[in-house]
A and B are shown apart, each in its own frame.
Chain A
Amino acid sequence: MTDNTMWQGYLIQSNGDNHFINSPWKLGDECVFGYDSDYTTMAISLIRYLSIEKSNLSLSSIDERINQQTIIAATQIEVNPSGYKIKCNDDASLQVYIGDEGVFHLAFDSMQDIDEEKYSKIANAWQNESNIMNTSQGAYISGQQYDESLESRLSLVAQNHQGIIWPQRQMDSEGTNISQSYVKIEPSGTVTSWTKLSAAGAPSEFAIRAPILGGISTVMVETNDGPNGVFLLVDDIPTSPKIGDSVDIVVRMLYAQEGFIRYGAKAIITNRS
């Protein structure tokens, strides 16, 4: 059995081919999700963790509490009968395994107490946001538009066309259609600029949660492979960014609208705790 490893903001344990991931947050004796995490974001992180050591990972079953479209877009994992199973637990943890389910224990010593009031407000806010009646009153990302770039957004799939292009582009400056010769950008980079938006300065999609979080922070990142991107910082690690900070790009919940959650890439600062 491995010790608890902190990975993309979560805690991971392994025992043979059984792997366990849990939120680092606790409320009393209960393991609870961070402010922008759910089973889907944790499953994506665990698959990515396993992908470092194992190539050709596949899944045979995915717990219904996980968004299947999102996990496949974010990890590009295949589904076949000999693959891993993903099973969510009743608290903020899940397992990925082959064969029999393993027995793991939460490492409470490695976990932190979450602010109960804030946690409750955020949970209510997500519930309100996810109501199908919460619809756009103007400009927004439609479901179709969100889906079109899902793979590029979640797994940083880029094009290799006289250099790496991300986000993907249709034609180059010569009017030539850019080929579908995909490469994946390494999900890490350096902060080149940042801002913290008050609730008044953020898009209305964030209007319910931004006041509870005390604003939201966005960083511009130059990835190690070259392309730049803008990303929110994860919601449950309140760090004030600096230009030059190192970051990892992870998947978290962005916001909910029209009854479904938009997932996206967010940044975690890695050179400071």
Chain B
Amino acid sequence: MLPAGGAYMVDVAIVGAGQTKYGNHQLGMKGMWAEAARSAFDSVDKDFHPKQIDEAFIGSVAFGGGQLGNTAALLTEHSGMQGKPVRRVENACASSGFALRDAWMAIKSGQADVVVAGGIEKMNDLTPERKRFWLGVSGDTEWERLAGLTFPGTYALMARRYFHEFDSTHDDLVHISVKNHHHGLENNVAHIRKDVSFDKAKSGFMVADPLTLYDCCPTSDGASCVILAADHVVKQFTDDPVWINSSAAASDYLALHDRPSITQLIATQMAAKKAYSMAGITAKDIDLAEVHDCFTIAELLATEDLGFANRGKAGLFAREGRGRRNEGDVCINPSGGLKSKGHPLGATGTGQTVEIFKQLRGEVESVRQVRDAEVALSHNVGGSGATCAVHVYGRDK
């Protein structure tokens, strides 16, 4: 077995990245994917042609859009990649986080030099009734769903337990909501671009007590696409790559009731530990993090699980604004996160990578730029924490 971290293998860089705007799209799946792919192709600094792609991994839950089987083949034929080995990757909301990891491993293994990782979800083309059947599909259907739970419910259970165990209240979640809405305000691809006051976020419609509407991400359509290249071919495409310095993932019990604790996500902790070790850094070295905040409590837990705050201290971290852009210790969710940017399930993971690629290259809207950003992290969670992929990125290898 080769050493963990691929000490004797090639390094992997991102040479292009693009996405659609997230929101309620008029485009269908083919059009959205083509738009994301076009955006990624055009972002490559030097000449690039899809024929140069060796392999593609596309994350999707197949919520809507009508093409459940062979989704990747359909999409790639509409983006100049016909004939390439492709497949759909499904790990719930972490589908494209794992697609990215699969793409990274394909290059690390020496089997491919140029690989596409992407994701897509069409969510708003279903009738309200069908949409409601699909929400929660990635939780434990056999036990949790029969107990009336979809994800607002499972995350609400986590939130209430967290408030019980630690010095924290719902106000801490409101701070996260307000921050992420503010971060997403100037993001041209964000689904919800509006500032929200503390009072408004605090008094939102109760979805799953204690979580209100302002604690929940929207239901978004969207697609995202990144192009990875092996170190020996990077120069063909750019002189300004962003390196993926580590890729790690882990899993946990699907159902909350099988886990020893519901106030921490063990899969995140395991993946983060591996990712930091592989990259040779600690949480303190991270300048910005795209964190999976499908619900505000998810960001609060991730703040601890990723090591930005000690156990039980994430509420204080949020109250003190330590995740704010250019004000805190680390900028958490400069894109606005899932809360503001949106959450097209299968597209979210590589959508986080698109944001990081642009942030580290200084290409986002100037008001959103995280100053002096050198090292970044993405954290993509499937369901209520059953799967998790963490990646560390850097301007340097």
The residue in chain A whose Cβ has the minimal distance to the Cβ of B263 is A193
Stretch at the interface among A91-99, A180-188, A199-207: A199-207
The residue in chain A whose Cβ has the minimal distance to the Cβ of B259 is A228
Report yes or no: B258 in contact with A139, Cβ–Cβ below 8 A.
no
Report yes or no: A167 in contact with B152, Cβ–Cβ below 8 A.
no
Interface string of B131-149 (1 = CB under 8 A from A): 0111111000111111111
A11-56 with Cβ < 8 A to chain B: none
Q: Which of B149, B164, B207, B255 contacts A203 (CB 8 A)?
A: B149
Interface string of B202-237 (1 = CB under 8 A from A): 000111111100000000000000000000000000
A residues within 8 A CB of B134? 137-139
Report yes or no: B208 in contact with A197, Cβ–Cβ below 8 A.
yes
Closest Cβ of chain A: how far from B378's Cβ, in Å?
27
With contact pairs A229-B143, A262-B146 given, residues A243 and B129 touching in the complex (Cβ less than 8 Å): no
Q: Which of A139, A195, A207, A230 contacts B209 (CB 8 A)?
A: A195
B226-274 with Cβ < 8 A to chain A: 255-258, 262
Q: Say whether B153 faces chain A, with CB atoms less than 8 Å apart.
A: yes
Q: Say whether B397 faces chain A, with CB atoms less than 8 Å apart.
A: no
Q: Say whether B340 faces chain A, with CB atoms less than 8 Å apart.
A: no
A202 to B156 Cα, complex, angstroms: 12
A140 to B127 Cα, complex, angstroms: 17
Closest Cβ of chain B: how far from A234's Cβ, in Å?
12
Report yes or no: A230 in contact with B257, Cβ–Cβ below 8 A.
yes
A197 to B154 Cα, complex, angstroms: 10
The residue in chain B whose Cβ has the minimal distance to the Cβ of A267 is B147
- Interface size for B (C-beta < 8 A) is 39
With contact pairs A193-B262, A196-B209, A198-B208 given, residues A230 and B143 touching in the complex (Cβ less than 8 Å): yes
Report yes or no: A194 in contact with B148, Cβ–Cβ below 8 A.
no
A262 to B143 Cα, complex, angstroms: 12
Interface string of A248-273 (1 = CB under 8 A from B): 00000010000000101000000000
A153 to B147 Cα, complex, angstroms: 11
Report yes or no: B153 in contact with A202, Cβ–Cβ below 8 A.
yes
Q: Say whether A192 faces chain B, with CB atoms less than 8 Å apart.
A: yes
A residues within 8 A CB of B149? 197, 203, 218, 230
Report yes or no: A193 in contact with B164, Cβ–Cβ below 8 A.
yes
Interface string of A135-152 (1 = CB under 8 A from B): 011111100010001000
With contact pairs A204-B133, A207-B132, A230-B257 given, residues A254 and B161 touching in the complex (Cβ less than 8 Å): no
A41 to B155 Cα, complex, angstroms: 30
B residues within 8 A CB of A206? 148
Q: Say whether A86 faces chain B, with CB atoms less than 8 Å apart.
A: no
Closest Cβ of chain B: how far from A231's Cβ, in Å?
6
Having A197-B156, A203-B148, A232-B147, one finds 4 other A-B pairs with CB under 8 Å, namely: A195-B157, A202-B148, A206-B148, A218-B153
Residues of A within 8 A of B (CB): 136-141, 145, 149, 153, 167, 192-198, 200-207, 216-218, 220, 227-232, 243, 254, 262, 264
8 sampled A-B residue pairs with Cβ under 8 A = A140-B133, A167-B142, A197-B148, A202-B150, A207-B129, A220-B257, A232-B147, A243-B161
Q: Which 5 A-B pairs have the closest CB atoms?
A: A138-B133, A204-B132, A195-B156, A139-B137, A137-B130
